[in-house]
Amino acid sequence: MKNLKKILSMVLVVAMLATMATLFAGCGKSTYTVGILQLVDHEALDAATEGFKQALIDRLGEENVKFDYQNAAGDTNTCTTIANNFVTKNVDLIMANATPALQACAGATTTIPILGTSVTEYGVALNIENFSGVTGYNVSGTSDLAPLDEQAQMILDLFPEAKTVGMLYCSAEANSAYQVKVVKDYLESRNITVKEFKFSDSNDVQAVTENAASSCDVIYIPTDNTAASCTETINNVCQPKKVPIVAGEAGICCGCGTVTLSISYYELGYKTGEMAADILEGKASIESMAIAYDPKPVKKYNKAICDALGITVPEGYTPLD
């Protein structure tokens, strides 16, 4: 009988130890699968994606987060396909890099948390009237919007003799149209003639740019993903014609611009990753999470293009990296 009691006691101890091991294992970090949908390859979006991934690795540990990275190669239909695939896979969170990516993801799920980055204006992107900065549902993120009135004033400060300013942007990008409207209103209130030049996709960028360069003293390009992927084409048209470009972000300015009010897309992506970590760890609710911005945009200039066009940049600007 004593031996039987000893055996039963040992069995109970082993069972308790196994149960405790299971409980302690459950208290460890979970492994999360994060879907990343990036609209297209270009410097700004690439930097945002890298910042996002690094923030999650720093917070959760590289072994605890798995990234399912997908690139739509600039195609909105592909964005929809990728977004639906993420939903089918039931990923833990989706990062949507650029406006069309965000729109596709928001249309694919109302339950999986979605964080956007490199999105200019969420109210416009998500068709929310009187947007307050919080969506109230499963979407939040970071905005790459630099102060548009300051960008418009840069045009006036650097090119005071300009009478006609062209707005060059992609008609398929709602956030580009929003930026153009704000800058156009600012310039027209100061008696500058503003003309809009829209291209539908990369195939007609050259023809539309040639028209703009022939009609305007200065061209403004907002934060626009299609334009960002076509800066060489744009520069090959505008620089020989001596038409300067003021850009909405540093990636475009590096390729074809003279000056920009620049944000750090890496830091913007990193902030998005920190928001993602808070959501995954249960420290924050996405429904009440406000859109975040870069608080310290910097005036920068493209030395090579400014030198080629004979433009003297005033104090307060730093050269692009």
Question: Is residue 17's pLDDT more than 90?
Answer: no
Instruction: Kindly state the helix (H) or strand (E) to which residue 158 belongs, with its residue range.
Output: helix 148-158
Considering the domain architecture, whether residues 212 and 303 belong to the same structural domain is answered as yes
Q: Which residues contact 317 (CB under 8 A, 6 or more apart)?
A: 259, 299, 300, 301
pLDDT tens figures, 194-248 = 999 999 999 999 999 999 999 999 999 999 989 999 999 999 999 999 999 999 9
Average pLDDT, the chain: 91
Considering the domain architecture, whether residues 283 and 306 belong to the same structural domain is answered as no
Specify if 255 maps to a domain. Answer: yes
Of 7-16, 246-255, 293-302, the range with the highest mean pLDDT is 246-255
Which runs of E-coded beta strand occur in the chain?
32-38, 65-71, 93-97, 114-119, 139-143, 164-170, 193-199, 218-221, 245-247, 259-262, 292-293, 298-301, 318-319
Give dist(CA 130, CA 116) in Å, integer.
19
List the 318-319 sheet strands across, edge first: 193-199, 164-170, 218-221, 245-247, 259-262, 298-301, 318-319
Q: Give the rounded percent of residues in the chain with a pLDDT score beyond 70.
A: 91
Specify if 182 maps to a domain. Answer: yes
- Which tokens in the block code for residue 242? 């001596």
CATH number, position 199: 3.40.50.2300
Domain that holds residue 104: 32-144+264-290
Number of domains in the chain: 2
Give dist(CA 104, CA 106) in Å, integer.
6
Question: Is residue 22's pLDDT more than 90?
Answer: no
pLDDT tens figures, 85-107 = 999 999 999 999 999 999 999 99
- When pLDDT is cut at 50, 70 and 90, the band that residue 10 belongs to is low
Specify if 26 maps to a domain. Answer: no
Q: Give the rounded percent of residues in the chain with a pLDDT score beyond 90.
A: 81
